[in-house]
């Protein structure tokens, strides 16, 4: 079945990334509320840790040095494209530091998938259809409901500020990182690309901290160390690898749709573990997100073939 549908591995890896990123915000909230590690140090440490771990995994699994397979041109792409992975975190955290509401900051999760789709059309020349575009728009609307940007009372964002522009810039950086990575991943593979790009992203954030005069906090207490290790291994190493590796099998359009499932999973985890309520509007948003995936051409073709075989 997977031979008939090469998209199956890509859908699997996209699903893994969604599950991993669904745990990101609860873990970040736990670490930041303890007050021992600032957001920039947390982002820098998780990227550096993820990069080192994945490079070691590559070296052991392939019995090759992780730099032996990379050409000069790809080094440039890795270093340049990692700026956008770092920029996503820097812009988001800077926007939050300006005091914007949580709901405004959460817009990144709704904006980024739509940007990935649009940039894929212009940069990668991805083909599209009216049905796929409708699905992306439905997913965007659904995620706005899930994130409570839109509720039964209407739009919950009362004003737009410079902090919101920073969040928008963070979403744009994430979209650029995803789309620009596509051709490089095809050449060198998902693991090698992710390893080096997140390592360089961590170094970029460290340089930003030092240049801006921000202190670098290293976790010293066991709960902080364990949470930082979790952030580095699961919502960074495994999540970024899964997201990037999925591009070897599926289009950036389908990958963008999968991004709408992250806020949905985050809301469900909040309800399950933190007793957060889920409103009817959020449930309606979840239905829209699931529907946007089902009408995506690659998914709908897969479903049709599955029923034919039965």
31, part of any domain: yes
**Domain, as residue range, for 66:** 7-309
> Nearest 5°: CA angle at 220, between 217 and 225?
95
The predicted pLDDT at position 197 comes to 96
CA distance 25 to 269: 10
Six-digit token string for 60: 């052991």
Tokens of 61: 């699994």
pLDDT at 93: 80
Query: Is there a domain that residue 1 lies in?
Result: no
Contacts with 274 (C-beta within 8 Å, 6 or more apart), sequence order = 26
Domain count, the chain: 1
Question: For residues 249 and 10, is the Cβ–Cβ distance under 8 A?
Answer: yes
Q: Would you say residue 115 lies in a domain?
A: yes
* Dihedral over alpha carbons 126, 175, 282, 101 (to 10 degrees): -160
Could you state, in chain order, the average pLDDT of each consecutive group of 10 residues for the chain (310 residues)?
68 93 84 87 95 96 87 92 92 77 75 92 89 90 90 76 86 95 93 96 96 93 95 96 93 90 86 84 94 87 75
Domain presence at residue 212? yes
Element (H, E) at 83: helix 72-97
59 domain-assigned: yes
**The whole model's pTM is what?**
0.88
The terminus-to-terminus CA distance of the chain in angstroms comes to 12
Is residue 2 one of the residues assigned to a domain? no
Q: Is 139 left (phi over 0), alpha (psi -120 to 50) or beta?
A: alpha
Q: What is the pLDDT of residue 110?
A: 86
**Predicted local confidence at residue 48, as pLDDT:** 97
For residue 154, what are the β-bridge partners? 151
The whole-number pLDDT of residue 1 equals 42
């Amino acid at each position: 079945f997977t031979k008939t549908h090469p998209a199956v591995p890509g859908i699997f890896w996209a699903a893994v990334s969604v599950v991993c990123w669904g745990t990101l915000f609860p873990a970040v909230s736990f670490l930041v509320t303890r007050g021992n590690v600032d957001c920039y140090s947390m982002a820098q440490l998780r990227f550096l840790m993820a990069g080192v771990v994945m490079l070691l995994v590559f070296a052991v699994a392939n019995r090759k040095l992780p730099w032996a397979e990379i050409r000069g041109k790809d080094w440039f792409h890795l270093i340049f494209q990692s700026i956008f992975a770092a920029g996503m975190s820097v812009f988001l955290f800077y926007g939050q530091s300006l005091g914007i509401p949580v709901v405004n900051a959460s817009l990144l999760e709704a904006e980024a998938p739509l940007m990935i789709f649009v940039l894929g059309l212009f940069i990668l020349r991805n083909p599209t259809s009216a049905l796929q575009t409708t699905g992306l728009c439905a997913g965007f609307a659904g995620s706005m409901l899930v994130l409570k940007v839109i509720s039964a009372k209407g739009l919950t964002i009362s004003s737009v500020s410079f902090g919101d522009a920073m969040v928008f810039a963070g979403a744009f950086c994430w979209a650029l990182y995803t789309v620009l990575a596509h051709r490089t991943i095809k050449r060198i593979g998902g693991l090698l690309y992710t390893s080096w790009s997140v390592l360089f992203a961590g170094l970029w954030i460290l340089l930003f901290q030092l240049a801006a005069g921000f202190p670098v906090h290293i976790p010293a207490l066991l709960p902080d160390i364990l949470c930082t290790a979790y952030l580095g291994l699961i919502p960074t190493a495994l999540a970024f690898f899964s997201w990037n590796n999925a591009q070897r099998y599926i289009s950036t359009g389908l990958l963008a749709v999968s991004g709408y499932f992250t806020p949905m999973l985050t809301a469900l985890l909040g309800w399950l573990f933190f007793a957060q309520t889920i409103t009817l509007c959020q449930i309606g948003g979840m239905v829209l997100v699931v529907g946007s995936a089902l009408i995506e051409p690659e998914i709908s073709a897969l479903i049709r073939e599955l029923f034919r075989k039965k």
